[in-house]
A and B are shown apart, each in its own frame.
Chain A
Amino acid sequence: DIQMTQSPSSLSASVGDRVTITCRASQGISNYLAWFQQKPGKAPKSLIYAASRLHVGVPSKFRGSGSGTDFTLTITSLQPEDFATYYCQQYESYPLTFGGGTKVEIK
């Protein structure tokens, strides 16, 4: 199974900040990497697929990059609605696996 490791597990940031979340795969997954946002008590929301492509309706403040084993999600100009938990997920092979999540909190 491919293990997905996210770091940090949590971070504190202020409105207007730029934050970067890292996701590492235990083996190469090309660009078969997705990112999700989840707010407390809500379903996840799909943000990014193919490592860097935004789903329709997702603002360009979310930027994904990487290939192979190392990936990043950058969120620019944090707004109150961006404070949430973010998950990465690989879809290169079964079983599909998620990272442990990164909780972005208000400083």
Chain B
Amino acid sequence: EVQLVDSGGGLVQPGGSLRLSCAASGFAFSSYWMTWVRQAPGKGLEWVANIKQDGSEKYYMNSMKGRFTISRDNAKNSLYLQMSSLRAEDTAVYYCASLYCTPGCSKIYFHQWGQGTLVTVSS
């Protein structure tokens, strides 16, 4: 069974840092692009970042570029999101998800989702 388990969320002060993790099981993690998406309380979904299978390509939402870093450890079947300089507006549930490729991998689309982990930025 495909499973993505998000963890690492919690309460952090403005300006602080936090690292989220996503543990994958039940599929060939190293063969898939992966992504982070967030959802502020009562709001819609917002894409955060994507990472290629081998980590050689990364893409970010502009507002998070330079503050957030997506990474992965294929040996540990794990995805990470390092967040720094956190602001109140970063408060959200953060979801990891696996991505499928179209033929030739020119486009990628969402497949399975983790359960999410809540990050609260507040003093």
Contacts and interface: CB of A to CB of B under 8 A. Distances in A.
Contacts of A50: 102, 109
A97 B47 contact: yes
A105 B102 CA distance: 34
B44 A101 contact: yes
Contacts of A87: 44-45
A89 B100 contact: no
**Interface-central residue, A42, A44, A95, by most chain B CB under 10 Å:** A95
B37 to A, nearest CB: 8
Contacts of A91: 107-110
Interface in A22-50: 32, 34, 36, 38, 42-46, 49-50
Contact of A94 (B46, B59, B95): B59
**Interface-central residue, B102, B113, B114, B115, by most chain A CB under 10 Å:** B113
Interface string B82-119: 00000000000001000010100001111111111000
A45 B100 CA distance: 14
B11 interface: no
Contacts of B123: none
Contacts of B107: 32, 91-92
Contacts of A95: 47, 59, 61-62
Interface string A37-70: 0100011111001100001000000000000000
A13 interface: no
A46 B112 contact: yes
B110 A46 contact: yes
**Interface-central residue, A38, A46, A89, A92, by most chain B CB under 10 Å:** A46
Interface of A: 32, 34, 36, 38, 42-46, 49-50, 55, 87, 89, 91-92, 94-101
The 7 closest A-B pairs by CB, nearest first: A96-B47, A43-B113, A98-B45, A49-B109, A101-B44, A91-B109, A95-B61
